[in-house]
Structure formats: structure tokens, C-alpha cells
């Protein structure tokens, strides 16, 4: 017996949805109003699309409706106008998905304690969409994940609706590439990779993103697009691990790794500068490589290089603690027990208020375990909010800035190098400065008090 011909989407349905997208008549639903979803809301609204923003956190929705923003680099003024004129509607009501034509999923994909992918947010979101899925819907997943997630997890749940992917609705993957705090690149100026498993879905997803970003890069499948994002972040993780290891080696030799990198990058080919630090942070680089490690085990493949990079980067907070302890001992014959330490910078990177996976939180825990008394200063993080791994730090508040901020402490530990900190005053007011980011590179007065870690 011959199998029945494979069903495909009606050309008229594809053409109709594409025409709505190109005419800015398609309504866009964005699920997850965080560091990825909110910039997308802004991008679509600016191009004339009507957007419904969905989030399970009613407090986020309330704050947006009241003219407040909970992300530092995205002021509330960006959303006041679209909300007032009805172009942006934040809500917790997933039934409103039936009113949109395109759905973009921007939910977290963390790791479990055993470094395995936590797909619960994607699964819960797909289950929330399925009852409201309608013929002609375009669904795009942006959450970073392992190759195969779109086809193996998202698609089957959506098809419980009775609709078939590639026939009744369209599904694609387009990895987020946000870089919070980067003034050079915005959502609309970062090329957008798009992958799908059928031609119609790829055509529609390319049209959707092409309506708001400067360049779309189509690839042959959803799995390929999923692999693109992992490759980008594994590349960064491995190279950061390399310079972190070089830092430790060169410190033992009395060589400044920062000076080495600055000189090496003068070579116009064959070298790309990466910089060491106190450990990896954010929701991408510390997590994403292990999605591929986990998936590779399904094919009986060991990812030794990736795992080694992870081990090196994970060890950096301990290295910082050792450097700080050694500096205290050499300068003051004092250990960490009962030492008063001022931690400067809680965010995982400079000029943002994002604490996700920040090495500062791990460093504070390690210092407390050694008996140190900890205070912190961060102009972007006035209070530590609840995190999965460090809930006991919830509510700890930043000290207010003053020129003598560090005077009451035995050492100042710079973990995040925000640009709006007066490092000259910080060094002048400190007894000892341990700098993990080379933030004090341009400081000459009081240089003898600075130790790089």
C-alpha cells in the first residue's frame, strides 16, 4: 500500500497571513515580559504592530499598566505611549492568545541542580497556548535550548489542539540575541536567525522578523537555529575559560594578563580578545553549553571540551576568594574570618540590573562561609531580589554611595565594573582593593593598594 500524500498548508492561508504581517495588520502575542520579551514588545510596537504581552507574574503586568518599568535599561516611557493608544496590552489572561495571529515565546530555560535542562517553562507555556491555538497561527520559540526542542517538545503539545504543524498552524525557532546594556546593538539591529521544518513556516517567520529587524538569517531547520545559539555561547564560554586559566598561570609568573590581552589584540588577524573575570553570569553563558552536553549524551557523545570550560569558569569565585585572603594576609596579617568586605557590583555584567547567575552571589556566600562580614554597593541593584540558588540573600540592600564608602571595611572587592562608579574615589577611600575586572586600570593614585584577581 502506498502511504497517503503528506498534507501541506494551503497556499491561500500562507499568503493571507504573510499579507497581514507585511501590512502590519497581524497582531503579535509575546509570552514572557522579561529581558527578551520587553525589547521585542518595543520593537514590534515601533513598527506599527499591535502587541499583547503575556506574563504569569501579575506584578509585572501591574507595573507596566501603572507606568513603571522593572528593567533598568528599558524606561517606562518606552511603553507608556503604546499602552495609552492601545498598541500594547500587557496581561495575564492567556485566553487573549486567540486574538493574535503570531505568538512569540520568550520564557526562561534554566538548569536543574544536576545540570540538566529545565523544560518546565516551555512545557507550561505550550500547554497554555494549546487550548487557544487556531488555524493560521504562527508560533515562534526564542528560548535558548538544545537542538530538537521545537520539534520534540513544543510541537507535540501544540498538536494536542487537534491542529497539525505545517498544515493548520506554523512553528519556528528564532534564538534571542539580546545584550542588555550594550548601546551599540539593539533588538532591531542584531541579525535574527530563523529556522523552521517546513517552507511555509520559514517564509512566515522570516516575514514576521523581517518586518522589525534589519537583517534576517534563514536556516534550514528549527534544530539548526537552536544549534546556532548554543554554538555562539559555547564559543564565548570556552574562550572565557581559556583567558581565566591564563590569568591564573600568568599571576603565578608575575605577568598581568590584562596587559597581555591588550597587546595581543593589536594583531589585526588571528586573535579575538576575551577577558577574564570572577566567574560567568547571566542567563546564557553559564547555562547554555550544558544543554548541548545533556543532549549529546543521547548520542553517546562526551563533550569534554565544553565541560572542562565549565569547570574552569565555575572555579573562578574560589580563585577570587583565595586572592582576597592572600592579599589580606600579606597587607594586614589578617584572615577572612571577621574581615569586613565591601563587594562592589552585584549584577552579572556592567551597566545592567540583571543578577541572574551572577558570580557576586556565589562570592558573597563563600565569604560568609569563611566568617567575613559583607556589605555591597551597586548603583543598578539597590536590593537583592529572590533567586533560586541564593534565596537567603533576599532583601540585602546596597549601601548608599559616598566618597568614604569603603573606609569602614578591610577590603573592597570589585566584582562588576559599572561605568558610573568613581573608581578613583573608591581606591582613595579603601585600605585594600581586589579588582577582578581591571576596573581600576586607569587609576594611578593609590595604585599600591590595588591587587588584580
pLDDT tens-digit series, residues 219-264: 999 999 999 999 999 999 999 999 999 999 999 999 999 999 999 9
Q: Are residues 400 and 365 in the same domain?
A: yes
CA distance 369 to 427: 26
Catalytic residue from among 45, 85, 106, 284: 284
Q: Are residues 181 and 57 in the same domain?
A: yes
Residue 19: half-sphere exposure toward Cβ, Cα within 13 Å = 6
Contacts for 77 with CB less than 8 Å, ≥ 6 apart: none
Q: Is residue 347 one of the residues assigned to a domain?
A: yes
383 exposure class (CB count in 10 Å sphere: 0-12, 13-18, 19+): exposed
Which pLDDT score is estimated for 165? 96
Total domains, the chain: 2
User: For 406-418, what is each residue's pLDDT tens digit?
Assistant: 999 999 999 999 9
Percentage of the chain with pLDDT > 70?
98
Q: What is the dihedral of CA 194, 197, 198, 203, to 10 degrees?
A: 0
Q: Is residue 44 one of the residues assigned to a domain?
A: yes
Q: Are residues 169 and 287 in the same domain?
A: no
Contacts for 174 with CB less than 8 Å, ≥ 6 apart: 140, 141, 142, 192, 193, 194, 195, 205, 209, 225
Q: Are residues 249 and 180 in the same domain?
A: no
Q: Are residues 299 and 448 in the same domain?
A: yes
Single residue among 172, 195, 219 that ends a domain in this structure:
219
Which pLDDT score is estimated for 73? 85
Can you tell me whether residue 300 is helix, strand or coil?
coil
Single residue among 158, 190, 219 that ends a domain in this structure:
219
Extract the residue ranges of the chain whose pLDDT is less than 70: 1-6, 10
Which pLDDT score is estimated for 4? 55
Which pLDDT score is estimated for 84? 86
Kindly report the CATH number assigned to the domain that includes residue 160.
3.40.50.720
CA distance 360 to 362: 5
CA distance 377 to 421: 10
Q: Are residues 322 and 297 in the same domain?
A: yes
Q: Is residue 224 one of the residues assigned to a domain?
A: no
Domain span at residue 31 reads 11-219
Contacts for 298 with CB less than 8 Å, ≥ 6 apart: none
Single residue among 156, 185, 219 that ends a domain in this structure:
219
Q: Which of 305, 286, 237, 353 is closest to 111 using CA atoms?
A: 286
CA distance 172 to 150: 7
Q: Are residues 215 and 242 in the same domain?
A: no
Which pLDDT score is estimated for 115? 84
Which pLDDT score is estimated for 180? 84
Which pLDDT score is estimated for 2? 54
Q: Is residue 5 one of the residues assigned to a domain?
A: no
Q: Is residue 2 one of the residues assigned to a domain?
A: no
Which pLDDT score is estimated for 3? 58
Q: Are residues 211 and 294 in the same domain?
A: no
**The three cell numbers locating residue 155:** 510541537
Q: Are residues 209 and 349 in the same domain?
A: no
Q: Are residues 161 and 303 in the same domain?
A: no
Q: Is residue 227 one of the residues assigned to a domain?
A: no
Q: Is residue 225 one of the residues assigned to a domain?
A: no
Q: Are residues 260 and 210 in the same domain?
A: no
Q: Is residue 179 one of the residues assigned to a domain?
A: yes
223 close to 231: Cβ distance less than 8 angstroms: no
**For this structure, is 284 an active site residue?**
yes
**The three cell numbers locating residue 166:** 505545517
Q: Are residues 170 and 259 in the same domain?
A: no
Q: Put residue 244 in one of left, alpha, beta given phi > 0 → left and psi -120 to 50 → alpha.
A: alpha
Which pLDDT score is estimated for 141? 98
CA distance 260 to 101: 53
Amino acid at each position: 500500500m502506498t502511504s497517503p500524500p503528506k498534507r501541506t498548508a494551503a497556499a491561500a492561508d500562507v499568503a493571507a497571513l504573510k499579507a497581514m504581517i507585511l501590512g502590519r495588520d497581524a497582531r503579535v502575542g509575546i509570552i514572557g515580559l522579561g529581558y527578551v520579551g520587553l525589547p521585542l514588545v518595543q520593537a514590534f510596537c515601533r513598527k506599527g504592530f499591535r502587541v499583547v504581552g503575556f506574563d504569569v507574574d501579575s506584578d509585572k503586568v501591574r507595573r507596566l499598566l501603572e507606568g513603571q518599568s522593572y528593567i533598568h535599561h528599558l524606561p517606562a516611557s518606552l511603553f507608556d505611549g503604546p499602552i495609552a493608544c492601545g498598541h500594547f496590552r500587557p496581561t495575564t489572561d492567556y485566553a487573549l492568545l486567540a486574538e493574535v495571529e503570531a505568538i512569540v515565546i520568550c520564557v526562561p530555560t534554566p538548569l536543574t541542580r544536576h545540570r540538566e535542562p529545565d523544560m518546565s517553562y516551555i512545557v507550561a507555556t505550550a500547554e497554555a497556548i494549546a487550548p487557544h491555538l487556531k488555524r493560521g497561527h504562527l508560533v515562534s520559540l526564542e528560548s535558548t535550548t538544545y537542538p530538537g526542542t521545537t520539534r520534540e517538545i513544543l510541537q507535540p503539545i501544540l498538536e494536542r489542539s487537534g491542529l497539525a504543524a505545517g498544515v493548520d498552524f506554523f512553528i519556528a525557532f528564532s534564538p534571542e540575541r539580546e545584550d542588555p546594556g550594550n548601546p551599540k546593538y539593539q533588538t532591531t539591529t542584531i541579525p535574527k536567525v530563523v529556522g523552521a521544518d517546513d517552507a511555509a513556516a520559514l517564509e512566515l517567520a522570516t516575514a514576521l522578523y523581517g518586518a522589525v529587524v534589519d537583517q534576517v538569517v534563514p536556516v534550514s531547520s528549527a534544530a539548526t537555529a537552536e544549534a546556532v545559539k548554543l554554538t555562539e555561547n559555547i564559543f564565548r564560554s570556552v574562550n572565557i575559560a581559556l583567558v581565566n586559566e591564563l590569568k591564573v598561570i600568568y599571576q603565578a609568573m608575575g605577568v598581568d594578563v590584562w596587559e597581555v590581552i591588550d597587546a595581543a589584540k593589536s594583531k589585526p588577524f588571528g586573535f579575538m580578545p576575551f577577558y577574564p573575570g570572577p566567574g560567568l553570569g547571566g542567563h546564557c553563558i553559564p547555562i547554555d553549553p550544558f544543554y548541548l552536553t545533556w543532549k549529546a549524551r543521547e548520542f553517546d557523545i562526551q563533550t569534554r571540551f565544553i565541560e572542562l570550560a565549565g569547570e574552569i569558569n565555575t572555579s573562578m569565585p574560589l580563585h577570587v576568594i583565595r586572592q582576597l585572603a592572600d592579599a589580606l594576609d600579606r597587607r594586614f596579617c589578617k584572615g577572612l574570618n571577621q574581615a569586613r568586605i565591601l563587594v562592589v557590583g552585584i549584577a552579572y555584567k556592567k551597566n545592567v540590573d540583571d543578577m541572574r547567575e551572577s558570580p557576586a552571589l556565589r562570592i558573597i556566600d563563600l565569604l560568609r562561609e569563611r566568617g567575613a562580614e559583607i556589605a555591597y554597593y551597586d548603583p543598578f541593584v539597590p536590593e537583592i531580589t529572590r533567586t533560586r540558588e541564593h534565596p537567603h540573600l533576599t532583601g540585602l540592600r546596597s549601601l548608599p554611595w559616598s566618597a568614604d564608602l569603603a573606609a569602614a571595611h578591610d577590603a573592597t572587592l570589585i566584582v562588576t565594573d559599572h561605568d558610573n562608579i568613581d573608581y578613583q574615589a573608591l581606591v582613595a577611600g579603601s585600605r585594600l582593593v581586589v579588582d577582578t575586572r581591571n576596573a581600576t586600570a586607569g587609576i594611578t593614585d593609590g595604585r599600591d593598594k590595588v591587587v588584580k584577581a
